[in-house]
Structure 1
Amino acid sequence: MPELELDALLAGATVDPAVFALRPDYRVLLLAVDGLPASGPCDEATEALLANAEAAARTALEERPVEEIGQVAAWREAYRGFGAKPQRTRNSLEALLRRASSGLPRVNRLTDIYNAVSVLHQIPLGGEDLDQYVGSPRLIRAEGTEPFDTVADGAAVVEHPEPGEVVWCDAVGVTCRRWNWRQGRRTQLTAATTAALFILDALDPVTEEQLAAAGTDLLAHLRRIAPELRVAQRLISAQAP
């Protein structure tokens, strides 16, 4: 995907005003990249990154319960704002922090990198395969009719979000439900992914500087495996829609 197309993809990205009405402090950093090698399994450097993230999570959880960590508490409050029950549907950051004591998942190199960065910077972070993506990313409050391609009891199924639920979507359907709870099957990163969209979510108390630092860290790890990586990025907030 040429660099110009990456820029156009992000130029068309939108966050619905209804989302900002729910959380005026919401900001998202979008990173679109191309030129990744077929990632394959976790390598030695990625394993070390995951181990660092696991250690950082254990240290954070020695000081307070996971639900009292500032960023986790903010997302729990945001979930309640659109009717989700955070104790039943945990944001991706909380889910990863809770798994750290027994070990973060090992999925594939790209997914493992962004999971580790998510834990180290304590922000929810998702990744989508751009070759399976259609159009630009949009964060909306769902009508409830949008299709979501997922798996239930081992079988592929199409579900629909609740009306008013905050969801990421493209021109085909929902790509991630409940803001950053569960990603869809259609656009998930695989070992064959060579172009990806990364979504870095932030609420207070995360600052824009901290959000930018997480993006810089993610790109540094991606450039380790892809020195010629092509990158486009965009910050969207209530002040810079």
Structure 2
Amino acid sequence: MFAFNPSIDPSVSALAPEFTALSILVQAAPVLHPQVGEETLARACRDMLKQDFPWAEQHLAQWAEMFKRFGTKPKRTPCSADALRKRVQRDGTMAAIDPIVDLYNAVSLRFAIPVGGENVAAYAGNPLLTRATGNELFDVYKEGVLSHESPEPGEVIWRDDTGVTCRGWNWRQGVRTRLSIEQKQMWFVLERLPAMPLDALQQAGDMLEHGIQQMMPGASVVRNVLSASQS
């Protein structure tokens, strides 16, 4: 397995000592069953609407409160899981995008947890969850044109040695490290606050890993828990 070591900066640990994440590294194998992503997404939408987890709404409420802690308005820039769920609650389903993106969106929807998927080959160094100085660069499409912006000082960001890979903790992913089914080295991060039971975090990881193995039998998967209290 390739070397890749995500970490949490002490500035984030001080803000959210209760934060825990599940890091999942994947060395991809040939994709034999791409339909797994779309099928899992459709099932997750149905399951979420039919029988949600009793802690799900509280977990999203904790994320909204966490966003307020670092100065972001959650109604304008919600956590990724909240944004996905609102779309499904409004439309009843979600359109397929890409097999691997569909799969990790399905996990996010079903477990009310922000899930990020990243192309490891596009990284310069390792991922770091930290607070922004305001000088970092973040690549984003505006009106179809690739451009750059910077986060607000104090904003929680994921970054590497080049710049920001995700703004607003898990609100908006950058263009450079965006993941698709063609990539060979993948990193997923499932981000938990205390309303979500720890065993549910592992179950969410199981769902993602199971889908990956169905989609690309023979893929290598390594899981690791990241804890703010241990950083």
Which TM-score applies when normalising by structure 2? 0.92
How many residues are aligned here?
228
- Between the aligned partners of 1:227 and 1:192, the Cα distance in structure 2 is 15
> Paired residue for 1:152?
142
Partner SS state of residue 84, structure 1:
coil
- Between the aligned partners of 1:146 and 1:72, the Cα distance in structure 2 is 28
* Corresponding letter in the other structure for 1:92: S
- Between the aligned partners of 1:238 and 1:162, the Cα distance in structure 2 is 22
Matched-pair contact (CA < 8 Å) for 2:37–2:101: no
Q: 1:47-95: CA deviations, max 9, x gaps?
A: 321122111232368x99xxx8111101100000000000001110001
- Between the aligned partners of 2:136 and 2:156, the Cα distance in structure 1 is 12
Q: 1:134-164: CA deviations, max 9, x gaps?
A: 2111000000111101111221111110000
1:78-157 aligned within 5 A: 78-101=66-89, 102=91, 103-157=93-147
Matched-pair contact (CA < 8 Å) for 1:38–1:193: no
1:34 to 22, 27, 34: 27
Matched-pair contact (CA < 8 Å) for 2:31–2:215: no
> Paired residue for 1:222?
212
Calculate the aligned-residue CA RMSD, in Å.
2.1
- Between the aligned partners of 1:16 and 1:100, the Cα distance in structure 2 is 33
- Between the aligned partners of 2:39 and 2:222, the Cα distance in structure 1 is 27
Q: Specify every segment of 5 or more residues in structure 1 that has no aligned partner in the other structure, as ranges.
A: none
> Paired residue for 1:22?
15
Q: 1:95-129: CA deviations, max 9, x gaps?
A: 11011141223110000000001111111101001
> Paired residue for 1:69?
57
Q: For residues 191 and 48 of structure 1, do their structure 2 counterparts lie closer, same or farther at Cα, with a shift above 3 Å needed?
A: closer
Matched-pair contact (CA < 8 Å) for 1:140–1:168: yes
Matched-pair contact (CA < 8 Å) for 1:33–1:195: yes
Q: Does 1:55 align with 2:50?
A: no
> Paired residue for 2:221?
231
By how many angstroms is 1:191 displaced?
3.7
Q: Specify every segment of 5 or more residues in structure 2 that has no aligned partner in the other structure, as ranges.
A: none
* Corresponding letter in the other structure for 1:234: N
- Between the aligned partners of 1:108 and 1:20, the Cα distance in structure 2 is 33
* Corresponding letter in the other structure for 2:141: V
Which TM-score applies when normalising by structure 1? 0.88
Matched-pair contact (CA < 8 Å) for 1:29–1:211: yes
> Paired residue for 2:194?
204
Matched-pair contact (CA < 8 Å) for 2:139–2:176: yes
> Paired residue for 1:166?
156
